Amino acid sequence: MRYVSTRGEAAPRGFEDVLLAGLAEDGGLFLPDAFPQFSPAEWRALRGLPYAELAARVIHPFTSSGGTGGAIAFEALHAMCRDAYGSFRHPAVVPLVQLDDRSFALELFHGPTLAFKDVALQLLGRLFDHVLTRRGERITIVGATSGDTGSAAIEAVRDRAAVDIVILHPRGRTSEVQRRQMTTVLSPNVANLAVEGSFDDCQDMVKAMFVDAPFRAEMKLAAVNSINWARIAAQVPYYVAAALALGAPDRPVAVSVPTGNFGNVLAAWVASRMGLPVARFIIGANRNDILARFLSANDMSARPVEPSLSPSMDIQVSSNFERLLYSLLGEDAAATARTMREFRATGRMPVPDAAWKALSAKFHGFTLDDEGTLAEIRRLHDGAGYLADPHTAIGTAAARALAPEDRGIPVIVAATAHPAKFPDAVERATGLRPPLPPALADLYAREERFSTIPNDLAAAQGFVRAHALRNAA
Contact (CB, 8 A) for 82 and 55: no
Domain that residue 392 falls in: 96-111+231-430
| Paired sense of beta strands 278-285 and 363-367, if any | parallel
For the segment 307-330, the average pLDDT, to the nearest whole number, is 92
User: Catalytic: 357?
Assistant: no
- In the prediction, which pLDDT does 407 show? 76
Residue 215 belongs to some domain of the structure: no
For the segment 146-168, the average pLDDT, to the nearest whole number, is 92
Work out the pLDDT band at 70, boundaries 50, 70, 90: low
C-alpha–C-alpha distance, residues 78 and 222, integer Å: 23
Among candidate residues 305, 300, 303, 314, the one with its CA nearest the CA of residue 342: 300
- In the prediction, which pLDDT does 95 show? 98
Residue 32 belongs to some domain of the structure: no
Structural domain count, the chain: 1
Residue-wise pLDDT for 243-271, tens only, equals: 999 999 999 999 999 988 899 999 999 99
Residue 473 belongs to some domain of the structure: no
Residue 157 belongs to some domain of the structure: no
Assign 3-state DSSP to the chain and report helix, strand, coil percentages, each to 5.
Answer: 45, 15, 40
For the segment 308-324, the average pLDDT, to the nearest whole number, is 91
- In the prediction, which pLDDT does 408 show? 86
According to DSSP, residue 348 is labeled B
Which CATH number characterizes residue 412's domain? 3.40.50.1100
- In the prediction, which pLDDT does 68 show? 47
Residue-wise pLDDT for 391-449, tens only, equals: 999 999 999 988 777 778 999 999 999 999 999 999 999 999 999 999 899 999 999 99
Residue 1 belongs to some domain of the structure: no
Measure the CA dihedral 185/190/196/198, to 10°.
-90
Residue 3 belongs to some domain of the structure: no
Work out the pLDDT band at 196, boundaries 50, 70, 90: very high
Percentage of the chain exceeding pLDDT 90: 87
The residues, any chain, with a CB within 8 Å of residue 131's CB and separated by 6 or more, are 16, 19, 20, 72
Provide DSSP, 126-145.
Answer: HHHHHHHHHHT--EEEEEE-
Q: Quick check: 28 pLDDT over 70?
A: yes
**pTM, entire model:** 0.93
Percentage of the chain exceeding pLDDT 70: 98
Residue 269: CA count within 13 A, CB half-sphere: 21
Average pLDDT along the chain: 94
- In the prediction, which pLDDT does 412 show? 98
Work out the pLDDT band at 67, boundaries 50, 70, 90: very low
Beta strand residue intervals within 114-238, DSSP E: 139-144, 163-170, 190-195, 221-222
For the segment 283-287, the average pLDDT, to the nearest whole number, is 96
Measure CA 237 to chain center.
13
C-alpha–C-alpha distance, residues 385 and 402, integer Å: 22
